[in-house]
């Protein structure tokens, strides 16, 4: 464990003020009115205030190290001042002395830095005199198969700064677990209107040039990139934006329940065309979290642009009736919304012919034994030297039988970049084989939340549900779990036993006492609470009996691919047995387990809390009871306006309403509201959280350039997309 802790120390120590702010600015715009929490490590305590409106605060907790060998060295940090567009960026250089110790520290120090950016800062893109392209595309241009690169790029391409100017060519190999593992693809190849910076400090424009916020946070005005094209060469026009918002997102037949990402209190914004390249979205109330939602859009219905020239053939308001009927017959469908859903919403899995804005174009159907994606010749981004991105020619995804197969392929050096389905407990083995496999292992710390949470179905149809509803029963099973041992065995001791809270220091974090509330290991307390909950009688094997005389036997379900979930759950089952609770676990495919749970056929669901800190800026925040992790039938009740499902208790309805109003509140009020929601979750233990803040390993070939050494991993960041895969390249 010393080795792992030492590596984590060295990784986290490199995060500094210069990285957080200069990267956000260099990537074009830092847009966040809601402070984010970045976990770093440093040997100093200071507050740096610069003129303007950016304040950086650093709070450091240290541990004592016995007999350190001190070696002083000077490290230059850069602090970027917030400036207006027309002014040059001013850099303040500060020399900070750090210490190196003779051996790794056993305890990872908790260091929290909060970065507040209170206004959008735009940095002019470098002036590029000429554009270049890959040799393969240049050959197609010479053969008359493609227009010149200047005609394929927009007038103002997105300029992505890189660590190195890359080289063109190569095939990136990855592995996936089948049809339901679609995010294995969508986390690499994405094209939303905004992207997260590598460090998660803020959102920056990508598929649009910029945006402005006005009318007290109600109105968002977006400026398109003139000359941007779809992957089939057709221009992206205002009609693509209007069609997406008015005919798809705003169409009740296609989209009866607006996503919280693009709505406030269930109401969509008003779409307005300003001119040929500018449109606005105006909400009925301020939407203070909309900027944080922008990078999460870009799939399904939640797309600001749709290829209207292609998609209208499936839309009932545009397509000829006879043509629609023929298409529905061919697909064995009864309605045109179902047809539209299959071909437009089901892109990459149902109809790979859909034109896209993504850096790579899928050429095979997702779920096949091998899927190939090729470079989009019309991708609208370049590096600072004017080279059209992406650098890598193609991606290949090979279907794997299970996660173990993926890890074996990674160890063998067959996968150039793979983090998904690589478990942390494999870290020592990965390190041992890195020279043989010619790869490195990068550890990205997690942004917040919890990796393993056991959710008790509050509408389970069985006698167990009466106990699930008892908060003391849930608390008892929580304190019956030895999280410290689970951390050592399944997470190499580098994760944190905790509830599913935001990271310490995050403005939504309710306080350190809630991190560990009801997480202490106390089997004696658990036994007493279970006795008081009516489970005092036991059978001949020592297992507790319910009021009806049947053994209390719990069943935990989870989907495959995340081995540390199963490892941790096995230890939970052993701990529960010590207090007389019998439990089993079952692992299945992602789609089957998900369908089983949503059909209310699961008793306990093992699923992570990976939206903590994005409390009001996520399509399905898992602290919202409408998401369905606590009760699928409560979710059904919320989604049907009470016409179906089971009505939740009044307090649950109140919290659901708080989630709807949260985006409309000023930052101070929304932060306070978020804290109260997390407090409620910690107190009530609807989900028993085991481990959080776990670093995620990425196996990266030593031939790959521009893969970030340090970044944060989290679902709302769509990691590793915040590592900008378009800029990865093969050095050799």
CATH code of 379's domain:
3.90.76.10
On the question of pLDDT at 495 being above 70, the answer is yes
- The verdict on 257 and 230 lying in the same domain is yes
- The verdict on 153 and 192 lying in the same domain is yes
For residue 360, the SS3 value is: strand
> For the chain, what is the domain count?
3
In a domain, 405, yes or no: no
pLDDT tens sequence across 315-349: 999 999 999 999 999 999 999 999 999 999 876 77
User: Pick the residue with more confidence: 63 or 637?
Assistant: 637
Three state DSSP letters for 570-624: HHHHHHHHHCCCEEEEEEECHHHHHHHHHCCCCCEEECCECCCCCCCCCCCCCCC
Picking from 122, 156, 175, the residue at the C-terminal end of a domain is 122
In a domain, 132, yes or no: no
pTM of the model: 0.82
Q: Whole-angstrom Cα distance, residue 497 to residue 492? A: 12
On the question of pLDDT at 47 being above 50, the answer is no
Give the per-residue pLDDT at 44. Answer: 32
- The verdict on 496 and 632 lying in the same domain is yes
Average pLDDT, the chain: 85
Number of Cα atoms under 13 Å in the Cβ half of residue 412: 10
In a domain, 401, yes or no: no
- Secondary structure element (H or E) that encloses residue 266, with its range: none
In a domain, 134, yes or no: no
Give the per-residue pLDDT at 125. Answer: 61
Number of Cα atoms under 13 Å in the Cβ half of residue 573: 18
Q: Which domain holds residue 157?
A: 141-392+722-730
Picking from 122, 150, 175, the residue at the C-terminal end of a domain is 122
Q: Whole-angstrom Cα distance, residue 644 to residue 713? A: 37
Q: State residue 670 phi and psi, 5-degree precision.
A: -70, -35
Of 201, 182, 164, 360, whose CA–CA distance to 295 is shortest? 201
User: Within 356-396, where are the H helices?
Assistant: none
pLDDT tens sequence across 559-603: 986 668 899 999 999 999 999 999 999 999 888 999 999 999 999
Query: Pseudo-torsion of CA 402, 8, 59, 505, nearest 10°?
Result: 10
Q: Whole-angstrom Cα distance, residue 62 to residue 45? A: 10
Cα 278 to its chain centre, rounded Å, is: 29
Cα 548 to its chain centre, rounded Å, is: 44
Handedness of CA 128, 147, 277, 359 (dihedral sign): negative
Cα 485 to its chain centre, rounded Å, is: 28
Longest pairwise C-alpha distance within the chain: 83
């Amino acid at each position: 464990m010393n080795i792992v802790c030492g590596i984590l120390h060295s990784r986290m120590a490199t995060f500094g003020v210069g990285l957080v702010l200069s990267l956000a600015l260099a990537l074009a715009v830092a847009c966040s009115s809601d402070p984010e929490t970045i976990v770093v490590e440093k040997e100093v305590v200071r507050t740096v205030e610069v003129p303007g409106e950016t304040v950086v605060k650093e709070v450091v907790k240290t541990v004592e190290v016995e007999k350190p060998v001190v070696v002083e060295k000077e490290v230059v940090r850069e602090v970027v001042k917030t400036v207006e567009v027309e002014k040059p960026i001013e850099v303040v250089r500060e020399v900070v002395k750090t210490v190196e110790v003779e051996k790794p520290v056993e305890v990872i120090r908790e260091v929290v830095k909060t970065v507040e950016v209170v206004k959008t800062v735009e940095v002019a893109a470098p002036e590029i005199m000429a554009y270049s392209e890959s040799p393969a595309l240049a050959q197609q241009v010479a053969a008359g198969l493609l227009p010149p690169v200047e005609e394929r790029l927009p007038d103002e391409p997105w300029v992505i700064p890189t660590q190195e100017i890359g080289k063109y060519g190569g095939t990136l190999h990855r592995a996936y677990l089948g049809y339901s593992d679609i995010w294995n693809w969508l986390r690499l190849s994405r094209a939303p209107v905004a992207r997260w910076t590598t460090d998660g400090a803020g959102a920056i424009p990508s598929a649009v040039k910029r945006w402005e916020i006005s009318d007290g946070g109600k109105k968002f005005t977006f400026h398109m990139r003139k000359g941007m094209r779809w992957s089939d060469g057709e221009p992206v026009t205002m009609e693509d934006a209007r069609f997406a918002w008015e005919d798809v997102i705003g169409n009740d037949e296609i989209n009866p329940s607006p996503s919280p990402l693009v709505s406030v209190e269930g109401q969509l914004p008003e779409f307005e065309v300003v001119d040929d390249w500018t449109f606005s979205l105006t909400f009925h109330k301020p939407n203070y979290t909309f900027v944080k939602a922008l990078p999460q859009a870009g799939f399904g219905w939640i797309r600001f642009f749709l290829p209207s020239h292609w998609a209208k053939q499936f839309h009932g308001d545009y397509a000829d009736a006879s043509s629609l009927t023929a298409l529905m017959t061919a697909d064995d469908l009864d309605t045109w919304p179902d047809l539209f859903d299959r071909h437009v919403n089901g892109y990459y899995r149902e109809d790979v012919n859909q034109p896209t804005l993504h850096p790579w174009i899928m050429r095979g159907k997702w779920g096949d034994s091998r899927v190939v994606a090729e470079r989009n010749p019309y991708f609208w981004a370049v590096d600072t030297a004017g080279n059209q991105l992406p650098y890598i020619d193609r991606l290949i995804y090979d279907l794997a039988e299970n996660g173990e197969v993926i890890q074996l392929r990674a160890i063998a050096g067959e996968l150039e970049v793979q983090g998904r389905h690589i478990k942390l407990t494999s870290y020592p083995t990965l390190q041992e084989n890195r020279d043989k496999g010619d790869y490195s292992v990068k550890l990205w710390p997690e942004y917040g939340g919890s990796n393993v949470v056991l959710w008790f179905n509050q509408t389970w149809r069985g006698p167990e549900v009466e106990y699930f509803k008892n908060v003391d029963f849930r608390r008892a099973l929580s304190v019956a779990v030895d999280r410290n041992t689970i951390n050592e065995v399944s997470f190499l001791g580098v994760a944190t036993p905790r509830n599913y809270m935001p990271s310490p220091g995050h403005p939504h974090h309710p306080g350190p006492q809630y991190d560990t509330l009801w997480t202490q290991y106390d089997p004696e307390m658990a036994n007493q609470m279970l006795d008081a909950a009516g489970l005092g009688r036991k059978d001949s094997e020592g297992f507790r009996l319910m009021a009806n005389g049947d053994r209390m036997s719990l069943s935990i379900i989870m989907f495959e691919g995340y081995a540390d979930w199963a490892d941790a759950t096995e230890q939970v089952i052993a701990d529960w047995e010590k207090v007389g609770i019998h439990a089993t676990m079952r692992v299945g495919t992602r789609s089957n387990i998900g369908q089983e749970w949503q059909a209310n056929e699961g008793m306990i669901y093992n699923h992570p809390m990976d939206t903590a800190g994005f409390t009001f800026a996520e399509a399905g925040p898992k602290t919202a009871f409408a998401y369905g992790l606590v009760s699928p039938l409560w979710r059904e009740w919320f989604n049907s306006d009470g016409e179906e499902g089971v009505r939740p208790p009044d307090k649950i309805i109140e919290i659901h309403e708080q989630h709807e109003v949260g985006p409309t509140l000023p930052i101070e009020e929304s932060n306070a509201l978020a804290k109260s929601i997390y407090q409620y979750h910690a107190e009530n233990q609807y989900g028993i959280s085991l481990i959080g803040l776990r670093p995620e390993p990425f196996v990266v070939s030593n031939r790959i350039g521009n893969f970030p050494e340090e970044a944060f991993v989290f679902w709302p960041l769509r990691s590793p997309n915040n590592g900008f895969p378009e800029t990865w390249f093969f050095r050799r």
